[in-house]
């Protein structure tokens, strides 16, 4: 059974991530929010440091590349473990306490890397080691339903030829490769959707534009087209077989690992807002007393207590989803619950903190307004709030996507 406390063996990792967030990300946060699309060169040194620590094994495989379900031990033991998935969400939450956009800009820590870790075979994992992969799913006109993907991949000898367009690709310009979702056969529907590792220098791939955004401005978001883009067949992630019985399950398995990561981003960003708001309220003479009921304190203190309670619920759901992945338990329901709860709570907490701090919260004198802008995307990408609620309802009611739309 899951323990609701943060594992002691990961305390060192969490402390390291917090120190990096405080000393390296926070100081440059405002700079790169203003300098939209300018690459944060400071991240090169930080990425090299993280790579070095990872090589020692001290992080336990934490980070986007660590979200992989390990096989059940050969001896059949069912020992409860706190592994790389839990380490990843806890460390990412700390880094997003520093800055969400800079975390999303970190080399080799893209959502595409977590997709590779989720579905690639062992040979591919070794071959792609060191790559920085963006995730290319969303298309014009498909909305939030990934099953409506129209980008095609047609087998031609030893290659697949990809044609289509992807939009809102996080790190789509800076990353050196993309995990592209495409269909092998439109007539077979969801079951034919596969993901491919496409390198940025492949002929036929073109970055069309970069988006100007409300938040996460330090992170580049690109629109990309594929025109007869040839990809070696060996770069199809996982199995090339089309299994109509499992349908979309293989592709959706990626989200079971990546949605807790996005929940972690929202948890970290919201925690930053709560910490700063508490300090600013104390400076204004409003001290939260955790030993007294909310109704006997000021309205501001009572509101902060309510926000912290909501935040803790999001954190626990995030940890549960990651812990289940570490222990080889199906977690589609829990991953969507974590993403839905954390996304909603993140937006509510950051905006409420702006309101609690009044003009100071609205001003650029503090980072509260930036965190409110950054947090909104965390309720949108990797499946919107509404889509997560729909998935949760289907799982609980035992209904298919055609039965409950």
Higher pLDDT, 311 or 78: 311
Residue 36 burial (C-beta neighbours within 10 Å; 0-12, 13-18, 19+): middle
Q: pLDDT tens, 171-209?
A: 999 999 999 999 999 888 788 999 999 999 999 999 999
> What confidence score (pLDDT) does residue 109 get?
85
Q: pLDDT tens, 206-245?
A: 999 999 999 999 999 999 999 999 999 999 998 888 876 5
DSSP assignment string, 120-181: --HHHHHHTTT--EEEE---TTTTT-GGG---EEEEETTEEEEEEEEEEEETTTTSSEEEEE
- Asked whether 100 and 374 are in contact (CB, 8 A), the reply is yes
Q: What is the largest CA-CA distance in the chain?
A: 73
Q: Classify 8-127 by CATH class.
A: mainly alpha
Give the confidence band of 317 by pLDDT, cuts at 50, 70, 90: very high
Q: 299-326 vs 249-283: helix axis angle to the nearest 10?
A: 150
> What confidence score (pLDDT) does residue 284 get?
96
Higher pLDDT, 141 or 92: 92
Q: How many Å apart are CA 310 and CA 332, to the nearest integer?
A: 22
> What confidence score (pLDDT) does residue 224 get?
98
Domain definitions of the chain by residue range: 8-127, 133-235, 249-397
In percent, how much of the chain has pLDDT > 70?
91
Cα 319 → chain centroid: 14
Q: pLDDT tens, 33-86?
A: 999 999 999 999 888 877 766 665 666 566 676 676 665 555 555 677 888 899
Q: pLDDT tens, 250-284?
A: 567 788 889 999 999 999 999 999 999 999 999 99
Q: Half-sphere exposure of 225 toward its Cβ, with a 13 Å CA cutoff?
A: 6
> What confidence score (pLDDT) does residue 125 get?
92
- Asked whether 42 and 24 are in contact (CB, 8 A), the reply is yes
> What confidence score (pLDDT) does residue 401 get?
83
**DSSP 8-state secondary structure symbol assigned to residue 21:** I
- Asked whether 321 and 260 are in contact (CB, 8 A), the reply is yes
* Annotated catalytic residue within 308, 334, 366, 382: 382
> What confidence score (pLDDT) does residue 111 get?
86
| Residues forming a β-bridge with 133 | 177
119 has a pLDDT exceeding 70: yes
pTM: 0.93
> What confidence score (pLDDT) does residue 248 get?
60
Angle among Cα 175, 87, 146 to the nearest 5 degrees reads 50
- Asked whether 237 and 116 are in contact (CB, 8 A), the reply is yes
Q: Can you give the three-state secondary structure of 26-58, one letter per residue?
A: HHHHHHHHHCCCCCCCHHHHHHHHHHHHHHHCC
> What confidence score (pLDDT) does residue 188 get?
86
Average pLDDT, the chain: 91
> What confidence score (pLDDT) does residue 101 get?
97
Give the confidence band of 31 by pLDDT, cuts at 50, 70, 90: very high
Question: For domain 249-397, which CATH number applies: 1.20.140.10, 3.40.50.720, 1.25.40.80, 3.30.420.270?
Answer: 1.20.140.10
Nearest to 319 by CA among 264, 269, 272, 265: 264
> What confidence score (pLDDT) does residue 241 get?
85
pLDDT, mean of residues 375-379: 97
> What is 133-235's CATH topology?
Butyryl-CoA Dehydrogenase, subunit A; domain 2 (2.40.110)
Backbone angles phi, psi at 26, to 5 degrees: -55, -45
DSSP assignment string, 262-297: HHHHHHHHHHHHHHHHHHHHHHTT----TTS-GGGS
- Asked whether 260 and 323 are in contact (CB, 8 A), the reply is no
70 is catalytic: no
> What confidence score (pLDDT) does residue 82 get?
81
């Amino acid at each position: 059974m899951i323990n609701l406390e943060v594992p002691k063996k990961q305390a060192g990792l969490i402390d390291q991530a917090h120190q990096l967030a405080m000393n390296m990300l926070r100081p440059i946060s405002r700079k790169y929010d203003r300098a939209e699309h300018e690459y944060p060169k400071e991240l090169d040194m930080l990425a090299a440091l993280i790579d070095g620590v990872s090589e020692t094994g001290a992080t336990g495989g934490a980070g986007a590349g660590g979200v992989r379900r390990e096989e059940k031990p050969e001896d059949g033991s069912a020992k409860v473990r706190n592994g790389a998935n839990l380490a990843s969400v806890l460390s990412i939450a700390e880094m997003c306490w520093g800055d969400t956009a800079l975390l999303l800009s970190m080399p080799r820590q893209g959502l595409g890397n977590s997709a590779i870790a989720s579905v690639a075979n062992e040979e591919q994992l070794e071959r792609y080691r060191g790559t920085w992969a963006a995730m290319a799913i969303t298309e014009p006109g498909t909305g939030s339903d990934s099953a409506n993907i129209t980008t095609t991949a047609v087998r031609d000898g030893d290659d697949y030829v990809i044609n289509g367009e992807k939009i809102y690709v996080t790190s789509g310009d800076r990353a050196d490769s993309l995990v592209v979702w495409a269909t092998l056969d439109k007539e077979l529907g969801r079951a034919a959707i596969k993901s491919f590792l496409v390198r940025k220098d492949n002929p036929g791939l073109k970055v069309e534009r970069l988006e100007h955004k409300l938040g996460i401005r330090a992170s580049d978001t690109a629109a990309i087209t594929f025109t007869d883009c040839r990809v070696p067949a060996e770069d199809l992630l996982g199995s090339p077989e089309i299994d109509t019985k499992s349908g979309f399950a293989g592709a959706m398995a990626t989200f079971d690992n990546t949605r807790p990561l996005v929940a972690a981003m929202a948890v970290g960003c919201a925690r930053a807002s709560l910490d700063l708001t508490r300090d600013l309220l104390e400076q204004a003479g409003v001290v939260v007393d955790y030993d007294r009921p909310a109704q006997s304190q000021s309205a501001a203190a009572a509101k902060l207590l309510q926000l912290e309670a909501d935040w803790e619920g999001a954190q626990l759901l995030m940890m549960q989803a990651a812990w289940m992945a570490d222990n080889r338990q199906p977690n589609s329901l829990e991953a969507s619950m974590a993403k839905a709860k954390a996304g909603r709570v993140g937006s509510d907490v950051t905006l409420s903190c702006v309101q609690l701090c009044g003009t100071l919260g609205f001003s650029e004198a503090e980072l509260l307004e930036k965190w409110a802008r950054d947090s909104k995307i965390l309720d949108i990408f990797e499946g919107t709030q509404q889509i997560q609620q729909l998935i949760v309802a289907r799982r609980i009611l035992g209904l298919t996507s055609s039965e409950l739309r």
